Amino acid sequence: MTSINPEVFDQGLDYADTNGTRIDICTTEPTTYTEATSTYTLGSANVDVGATSAGSTDGRRVLVPAVAAGNVTVNGSAAFWGLTDNSGELIAAGALSAVQAVTSGNTFTLNAIAITIRDPA
């Protein structure tokens, strides 16, 4: 079995904690900053990512807090999220738990999102 010091995980997740400031809801899973914030975005919210902590099962994680009132700017079906530094870097992306239709001018909500690095098997 491989053993990795938890500090290795923490350093990667600390980047998300320190730099993750914006979350976008997207139609397609973004792979770049431009895709997350322009090409596929339906709306966004400013966030304050939590500090690195123990994962719920194992490993280490950071939590992107729940969003109570994000701004929807484009009509469409949100299926993914993208966390960025709001200046050029996509930090993480993933699927929403369910696809949600949104309408420009309304607000959206999101549950908290855990970004986890699991222990090696």
> 111 pLDDT exceeds 80?
yes
In 3D space, the residue among 27, 113, 37 whose CA is nearest the CA of residue 77 turns out to be: 27
In this prediction, residue 121 carries a pLDDT of: 65
**Domain residue extents for the chain:** 6-117
Give 14-38 pLDDT, tens digit per residue.
999 999 999 999 999 999 999 999 9
Q: Give pTM, 2 decimals.
A: 0.90
Distance (Å, whole) CA 69 – CA 44: 9
40/6: higher pLDDT: 40
> 2 pLDDT exceeds 70?
no
Give 58-99 pLDDT, tens digit per residue.
888 999 999 999 999 999 999 999 999 999 999 999 999 999
Stretch 2-9: mean pLDDT: 75
